[in-house]
Amino acid sequence: MNTRPLPHQIQDASGDVVRDRPWIFRTYAGHSSARASNQLFRSNLEQGQTGLSIAFDLPTQCGYDSDDPIARPEVGKVGVPINSLDDFHVLFEGIPLEKMNTSMTINGTAMWLLALYVALARERGVSIDQLAGTTQNDLVKEYLARGTYIFPPQESLRIIAEMYEYCLDEIPKWNASNICSYHLQEAGATPVQELAFALANAVSLLDLLQARGRFDHEQFERAVGRISFFVNAGIRFVEEMCKMRAFSELWNEITRDRYGVQNERFRRFRYGVQVNSLGLTEGQPENNAWRILIETLGITLSRNARCRALQLPAWNEALSLPRPWDQQWSLRLQQILAYETDLLEYPDLFDGSPVVQSKVAELKQIARAEIERILELGGVIPAIESGYMKSALVKSMSERMSAINDGAQIVVGVNRWTEGLPSPLLAGDDGGVFKADPAAASETLENLARTRKARDPERVKRSLEQLKEAARKGTPMFEASVECALARVTTGEWANALREVFGEYRPPTGIDGQRLSLGGDRVEQLRARIASLTDTLGHRPRILVGKPGLDGHSNGAEVIAVSARHVGFDVIYSGIRLTADAIVRAAVEEDVDLIGASVLSGSHVELAHQIMTGLESSGAKGRIRVVFGGIIPKQDAEKLIQLGVDRIFTPSDYELMDIMESIVDVIEAAHA
């Protein structure tokens, strides 16, 4: 029946009226140990999930073995720990690699994890051209927001480029990297900043691939076709939908005009989504279910800008890591939307809408100007190194916090309609939050010890030398990494070998020159209290703000640092990725009155314990007070108080001046 379809129908190649196939359903998952995560993956696949999205723990992401001192508190907390190929065998047991679409949220160590995946395929006898999936491998947003970078920008970009060069013909269904703007929105980016920063990032990457000259034009076009994106979708869902349309149009224009890509297929904007977690609230957490639903509409309603793959956060993410049930509930939302509703029966609903057209045009125009500005600076790397992009993000975040604080931005249950009935979702035995298995780390450590013992030390040494030589000479490092994987080199050893050659990177913090726009009586009152506290102490109260552990989400800590200066504290910002020991040392050397530690990775109890013990052994316990901020469940908060922490701030403490007042209280009380 080869008739023309009606405008509300979709027709396939043979002329039949059809329904679209749904996007790929994913759940970001992985925790505790390779064994526990394998069980979780298998049960998720049985539940109707159609792809894997692997969460790795922070030591794996930052290139440390599980038994490294800085890694110990973090093992298995936010994802699965992977020390060697032996762990990968356990993780994928009973899962056919050749049938999987596997997405790995991995960046600084992306080349290593892909090498492990390739090595696993080889040992299983699976041909690697059958492997499909994505390594996230976007270092730009790591420097700006997420913090799991290891090497300096130039070297990181070289690693990414080498992975494109390897994958293009060897693993053609693999996305070597994924341009992420997701984390930029989590760090406060506006829709325009998300558009501009992500596209400027992609342009800088393609410019690099072109400059390296390893591809002819035909290969280069295919490489452009391998570029995929990972974006965020917030609660202003109409604007978000327009943002996605703007993304598609801009990408099509850039790849055509800047790179002369002829094949339309390679100019298509391919993207996956995780909807926004930043806006999820700790108070009245059941409301988050609606937020997640609405945010999902933004990236599914418009067929021309619909995502390829979707993973949803869980309603309780501001409280703790999600439990399997919480993730199942979110997966069901996707299934209902895709299979129960009629959404997938229609062509694009918004084509021709003057409202949408105008909004998209506006977003595109501002984004283009911003992209130009970044390219004028020399591309994303100079824009990072000069602190330009980071400062822009910290500024947006400070403005957002100011708007929520003074009520200009309404957040239901947070600054309006805050009185509600108790949530039955929190009433279960576990209080509605995830409980990590403390024994899981020991299993991982035992496996690591076993691997080290069983391997051939000569082969390990040889393969690491080859890797370093490739790194030094500028020759490809991927094959050398696969040989390391087969030799049972560990994650920490691989990363350390490259640290030796490339060095480690510390980016600008973005706090320089930042200020809050908050004013008013409360700020004045606090400044007066701090002035009188200065007279009491003989010095302006000094606090150290820092992030112990490996979690690199530094924006919260940075907003606190900027706020503290705003009310008159002297603030020593010690940055991210510090051992508890280093934080204590800095606090003692600077003789601060208080340490403010921010932890989002769930390892707050271990870290608080280490900090308090450190203060005790340097004779500073009591003199230096301690407060903690982060995603800290109630039960853990009590443990922290028992350890001697004075105050705990959680996402429900969004009011910056309340936090500042509380810190002044603590210091005052200590000197009363």
Nearer to other proteins, 348 or 570 (CB): 570
- Among 141, 547, 566, 604, the one annotated catalytic: 547
**β-pairing verdict for 10-11 and 17-18:** antiparallel
CB of 217 to other proteins, least distance (A): 29
Under 8 Å between Cβ of 560 and 629: yes
CA atoms within 13 A on the CB side of 327: 24
CB of 601 to other proteins, least distance (A): 19
CB of 480 to other proteins, least distance (A): 24
The reply to whether 259 belongs to the active site is: no
Nearer to other proteins, 51 or 507 (CB): 507
SS3 414: coil
Which residues, including other chains, have CB under 8 Å from residue 617's CB and lie 6 or more apart? none
Q: To the nearest 10°, the Cα dihedral for 440, 441, 446, 452?
A: 130
DSSP state of 348: -
Nearer to other proteins, 42 or 540 (CB): 540
Nearer to other proteins, 485 or 587 (CB): 587
Residue 196: which of 357, 359, 369 has the closest Cα? 369
Where on the chain is the footprint of other proteins (CB under 8 A)? 152, 385, 506, 509, 511-512, 515, 527, 530-531, 534-535, 538-540, 561-562, 564-575, 578-579, 582, 585-586, 588-591, 618-620
CB of 528 to other proteins, least distance (A): 11
Nearer to other proteins, 446 or 504 (CB): 504
Nearer to other proteins, 215 or 388 (CB): 388
CB of 671 to other proteins, least distance (A): 13
How far is the C-alpha of 471 from the C-alpha of 252, rounded, in Å? 35
How far is the C-alpha of 177 from the C-alpha of 226, rounded, in Å? 8
Nearer to other proteins, 213 or 619 (CB): 619
Nearer to other proteins, 155 or 170 (CB): 155
- Among 359, 553, 566, 604, the one annotated catalytic: 553
Nearer to other proteins, 240 or 385 (CB): 385
CB of 538 to other proteins, least distance (A): 4
Q: 180 — phi, psi (to 5°)?
A: -105, 120
The reply to whether 671 belongs to the active site is: no
The reply to whether 16 belongs to the active site is: no
> With 0-12 CB in 10 A as exposed, 13-18 as middle and 19+ as buried, what is 318?
buried
CB of 661 to other proteins, least distance (A): 15
Give the bridge partners for 10, in sequence order: 18
- Among 117, 182, 271, 505, the one annotated catalytic: 182
CB of 549 to other proteins, least distance (A): 14
Which residues, including other chains, have CB under 8 Å from residue 432's CB and lie 6 or more apart? 285, 316, 319, 423, 425, 426
Which residues, including other chains, have CB under 8 Å from residue 280's CB and lie 6 or more apart? 288, 291, 292, 313, 315, 317, 318
How far is the C-alpha of 381 from the C-alpha of 377, rounded, in Å? 9
- Among 31, 77, 183, 390, the one annotated catalytic: 183
Under 8 Å between Cβ of 388 and 378: no
The amino acid sitting at 634 is K
Q: How far is CA 405 from CA 415, 429, 462, in A?
A: 8, 34, 58
The reply to whether 566 belongs to the active site is: no
The reply to whether 573 belongs to the active site is: no
How far is the C-alpha of 207 from the C-alpha of 196, rounded, in Å? 16
The reply to whether 609 belongs to the active site is: no
Under 8 Å between Cβ of 402 and 566: no
CB of 539 to other proteins, least distance (A): 5
> With 0-12 CB in 10 A as exposed, 13-18 as middle and 19+ as buried, what is 419?
exposed
Under 8 Å between Cβ of 202 and 154: no
**β-pairing verdict for 178-180 and 270-275:** unpaired
CB of 590 to other proteins, least distance (A): 6
How far is the C-alpha of 456 from the C-alpha of 487, rounded, in Å? 7
Nearer to other proteins, 115 or 578 (CB): 578
Query: What is the C-alpha R_g of the chain?
Result: 25
CB of 649 to other proteins, least distance (A): 19
Got the DSSP string for 521-582?
HHHHHHHHHHHHHHHHHSS--EEEEEEESS----HHHHHHHHHHHHHT-EEEEEEEEE-HHH
**H-run or E-run covering 76:** none
- Among 67, 86, 551, 636, the one annotated catalytic: 551
Nearer to other proteins, 296 or 579 (CB): 579
Catalytic sites, residue numbers: 28, 182-183, 547, 551, 553
